[in-house]
Amino acid sequence: MSSAHTKTEHGHTDHNYLNHGSGIWSWMTTLDHKRIGLMYFATVATLFLIGGFFALGIRLHLAKFGAEPLLDPDTYNKFMTFHGAIMVFMVIIPGIPAFLGNFVLPIQLGAKDVAFPRLNLASYYVFIAGALIAASSMVFNQVDTGWTFYTPYSTSKTSNGVILLVLGAFTMGFSSILTGLNFIVTTHKLRAPGMTMDRIPLMIWALYSTSIIQILATPILAITLLLIGAEKTLGVGIFDPDLGGDPVLFQHFFWFYSHPAVYIMILPAMGVISELITAFSKKTIFGYRAIAYSSVAIAAVSFLVWGHHMFVSGQSTLAGILFSLITMFVGVPTAIKLFNWISTMYRGTVTFDAPMLFALGFMFLFTIGGLTGVFLASTGMDVHFHDTYFVVAHFHYVMVGGTLMALMGGIFYWFPKMFGKMTSDLGGRISWVLIFTGFNVTFFPQFVLGAMGMPRRYFDYLPEYTNLNQISTIGSWLIGLGFLVGLITIIHGILKGEKASDNPWGAKTLEWQTSSPPPHENFTTTPTVTAGPYDFR
């Protein structure tokens, strides 16, 4: 693999993408995928803070520390809806692909940019527009349906704010489709010479599989959301039983998107983890092909399992059994990845820098989330666990323990490349310890609560659930504190961090072969690739 960069010996500033054009306008109109990635970072981080505010509100309410409840039932439902909708549609779905993916994908491929830079910028603004439309529902007409918008409640019982939220999600879906399309074409058409499909880094395989899901599943969400809009404005009745419609059809449509969407969240995270594990084990990844193809396999199977959300919706027994069986299949490619990561670490030279801690955190938490998923996939058990806190714990272990851990790890890993500076490793580790402990303190009790029968989405609960709820709330403050430390570490790194070398981790993929931060067009001369992506010897 050729090292493309030649260093400037003299002290004066290198020309890089951060100082290539200055002023806010040069950022707002940039076509550079790296800058667009950072713009997503700022946006998603802001939205994450808002979503987190609602989370802490929910938790504080449920702790019942005071004599008076903190929120009234109506406000509680709205908090829960905004928390869920913001976190899903605006944080974890765009988080890794649109931010880290945008930054990393073209450089890892040895390309100057994504295939359609203008479309890339457009999809950023489409995302902003969608987020604003959705947020306007907070101002004009709050929504209390939960992020799942289940009919007929959403279509004939509650406020018209649903139209705004649904329209916002529709618009953000457009952005998601355009980003996925851009990534697929970039991967197909813009690989550097010698970068064959079996030499692309595993992060790219993950983003590629994610893009396929984005393109195939999001249109179904789009039509479903449009139908909710049509239902509320025209009363077309397709989902409204009063008019002859079928609310279960809504659930089919919704989960036909939203289950694959879970993999839009987790596949890129797995891509990040593959990069981290090999970089911090100083070892060629074990089972490159197995990990690559298992991403595609997960993408394919993800379309066939949506019915596991509907075991208690009056599905036929046969359908239930089939969905249960296929759901279990997803475990196979997932386990393949996990075992390959562990084999990579085995006899590697493992170092525990902050990014690696997040990677290990991912593996631990995602395993718990995944295993409890198998419980939920068993039809009999699901009848007991359905819509209890067990489910809440399960999806937080997967989405937060999985996706957010990977996102944090990815931020700390690629930070030197993004800003040309190092973050404080101590800051990163403290952040990790707080998030990891806080996370388990928050969500492990929820498994117990769920098994004891505490239903999700309820404003109040029986006295016997009090202690565990209070523990859970204390954990949520730890998580909040952990993210605060993380944020401070990142801001401190941007402002005062030590200068980073081009390849501080000694990693092998192409992005580390160019300068930190990279020049405007990523490489001064197009790299030629002569070996696989993780050629540690």
Binds another protein (CB under 8 A): choice among 53, 116, 153, 477: 116
**In the complex, residue closest to ligand HEM by CB:** 84
Is residue 34 within 8 A of residue 518, CB to CB? The reply is yes
Helix (H, G, I), strand (E, B) or coil at 349: coil
The tokens of 323 are what? 């969905």
Q: Does 203 bind ligand HEM (CB under 6 A)?
A: no
Distance CA 215, CA 181 (A): 7
Residue 259 interacts, among another protein, ligand HEM, Cu ion, none and using kind-specific CB cut-offs from 5 to 8 Å, with Cu ion
Among 116, 123, 133, 299, smallest CA distance to 205 is for 299
Residue 245 interacts, among another protein, ligand HEM, Cu ion, none and using kind-specific CB cut-offs from 5 to 8 Å, with another protein
Among 396, 413, 404, 495, smallest CA distance to 447 is for 396
Among 86, 87, 81, smallest CA distance to 403 is for 87
Q: Does 476 bind ligand HEM (CB under 6 A)?
A: yes
- Which stretch, 76-84, 249-257, 318-326, 377-385, contacts ligand HEM (CB under 6 A)? 76-84
| Orientation of helix 117-140 relative to helix 161-189, angle to 10° | 160
How far apart, in Å, are the Cα atoms of 246 and each of 148, 317, 419?
16, 19, 52
Residue 77 interacts, among another protein, ligand HEM, Cu ion, none and using kind-specific CB cut-offs from 5 to 8 Å, with none
Distance CA 18, CA 419 (A): 8
- Which stretch, 7-15, 252-260, 275-283, 295-303, contacts Cu ion (CB under 5 A)? 252-260
Q: Which is nearer to Cu ion, 304 or 452 (CB)?
A: 304
Among 213, 411, 364, 203, smallest CA distance to 300 is for 213
- Please, is 75 exposed, middle or buried when counting C-beta atoms within 10 Å of its C-beta (0-12, 13-18, 19+)? middle
Interacting residues of 452 by C-beta distance below 8 A, sequence separation 6+: 464, 465
Q: Does 142 bind ligand HEM (CB under 6 A)?
A: no
Q: What are phi and psi of 388, to 5 degrees?
A: -110, 180
- Which stretch, 28-36, 374-382, 395-403, 496-504, contacts ligand HEM (CB under 6 A)? 395-403
Instruction: Count Cα atoms within 13 angstroms, Cβ side, for 431.
Output: 26
Letters for 142-181 (x = contact with another protein by CB under 8 A, - = none) are -----------------------------------x---x
Residue 20 interacts, among Cu ion, ligand HEM, another protein, none and using kind-specific CB cut-offs from 5 to 8 Å, with none
* 84-113: contacts with ligand HEM (CB under 6 A): 84, 87-88, 91-92
Q: How far is the CB of 310 from Cu ion (least distance, A)?
A: 10
Q: Which is nearer to another protein, 235 or 380 (CB)?
A: 235
Q: Does 427 bind ligand HEM (CB under 6 A)?
A: no
Among 137, 205, 215, smallest CA distance to 175 is for 215
Site size toward ligand HEM, by CB under 6 A: 25
Q: Does 148 bind ligand HEM (CB under 6 A)?
A: yes
Distance CA 512, CA 284 (A): 16
Helix (H, G, I), strand (E, B) or coil at 355: helix
Residues that bind Cu ion (CB under 5 A): 259
Residues that bind ligand HEM (CB under 6 A): 52, 55, 58-59, 80, 83-84, 87-88, 91-92, 146-148, 392, 396, 399-400, 404, 442, 456-457, 476, 479-480
Residues that bind another protein (CB under 8 A): 111-113, 115-117, 119, 177, 181-182, 184-185, 188-190, 215-216, 218-220, 222-224, 226-227, 230, 234-238, 240, 242-246, 249, 253, 521
